[in-house]
């Protein structure tokens, strides 16, 4: 509306210009000139058709290039992924092997600990039982030195017979107590000499005896739950040939 009003406006000449009738006809300002002079938008030249088509083509080509990656880049990424996967597989295998080794080691430790605990319980009285064997030996030695003929007359030697029976009962009761705790005695008399369970104190030729066999037992041997607590002290028959 404002522009239409400007198109119909008459240009008013300055006061110094002459106001002749002929000059009044030239005071009207053309509408196109008014619009160009008073327009708030700057007129830009329209782009040429060829330039516009070239720009569109370049943009299309750049979009196509960006959308399709280079084959070398894809191959490099694939090789990198394969390498990472191989490294992770190797790491997993290493960790699995370490885990299995740890389980085996833990199982071995549990087994050894169980055996050690059982042995500790089984052989806890080993030292105490071994000390008691000296008492058993003394009682047996005392009974061994009592003459048999003195024991035959229970009227005359009643005190000696009672003492002998009392010592014998004490020894028997002590042996039964040791047996309840896994201590057992063994007598290798007339058996082949075994250095693992017996200790040879002396050797002597014995007619009618097998060379290498035990003909005398000075002290009996004892075993604690399959383990030799004390070897027997014995005399061994000597081979006349010296073998």
pTM of the model: 0.53
> Which of 28-32, 207-211, 237-241 holds the top average pLDDT?
207-211
CA distance 62 to 5: 50
CB-based burial label for 228 (10 Å; 0-12, 13-18, 19+): middle
Total count of residues recorded for the chain: 243
> Which tens digits make up the pLDDT trace of 32-52?
444 444 445 455 555 454 554
Closest CA to 181 of 113, 111, 127: 127
Structure confidence at residue 125 as a pLDDT band (50, 70, 90):
confident
User: What is the chain's mean pLDDT, rounded?
Assistant: 77
> Which tens digits make up the pLDDT trace of 6-26?
444 444 544 444 444 444 444
Please work out, in degrees rounded to the nearest 5, the angle formed at the alpha carbon of residue 24 by the alpha carbons of 23 and 30. 100
> Which tens digits make up the pLDDT trace of 127-152?
888 889 999 999 998 998 888 888 88
> Which tens digits make up the pLDDT trace of 184-210?
999 999 999 999 999 999 999 888 888
Domain residue ranges in the chain: 71-122, 126-237
Rounded mean pLDDT of 95-107?
92
CATH, domain range 126-237: 2.30.22.10
């Amino acid at each position: 509306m404002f522009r239409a009003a400007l198109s119909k406006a008459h240009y008013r000449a300055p006061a110094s210009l002459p106001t002749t009738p002929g000059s009044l006809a030239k005071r009207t300002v053309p509408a196109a000139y008014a619009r160009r002079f008073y327009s708030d938008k700057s007129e830009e030249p329209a782009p040429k058709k060829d330039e516009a088509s070239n720009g569109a083509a370049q943009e299309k080509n750049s979009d196509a290039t960006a959308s399709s990656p280079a084959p070398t880049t894809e191959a490099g990424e694939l090789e990198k992924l394969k390498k990472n996967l191989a490294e992770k597989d190797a790491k997993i295998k290493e960790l699995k092997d370490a885990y299995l080794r740890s389980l085996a080691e833990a199982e071995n430790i549990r087994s050894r600990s169980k055996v050690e605990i059982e042995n500790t319980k089984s052989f806890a009285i080993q030292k105490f039982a071994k000390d008691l064997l000296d008492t058993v030996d003394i009682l047996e030695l005392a009974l061994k030195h009592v003459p048999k003929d003195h024991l035959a007359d229970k009227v005359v030697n009643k005190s000696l017979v009672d003492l002998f029976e009392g010592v014998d009962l004490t020894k028997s009761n002590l042996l039964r107590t040791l047996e309840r705790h896994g201590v057992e005695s063994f007598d290798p008399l007339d058996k082949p000499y075994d250095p693992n369970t017996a200790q040879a104190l002396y050797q002597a030729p014995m007619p009618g005896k097998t060379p290498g066999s035990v003909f005398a037992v000075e002290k009996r041997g004892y075993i604690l739950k399959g383990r030799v607590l004390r070897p027997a002290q014995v005399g061994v028959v000597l081979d006349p040939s010296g073998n």
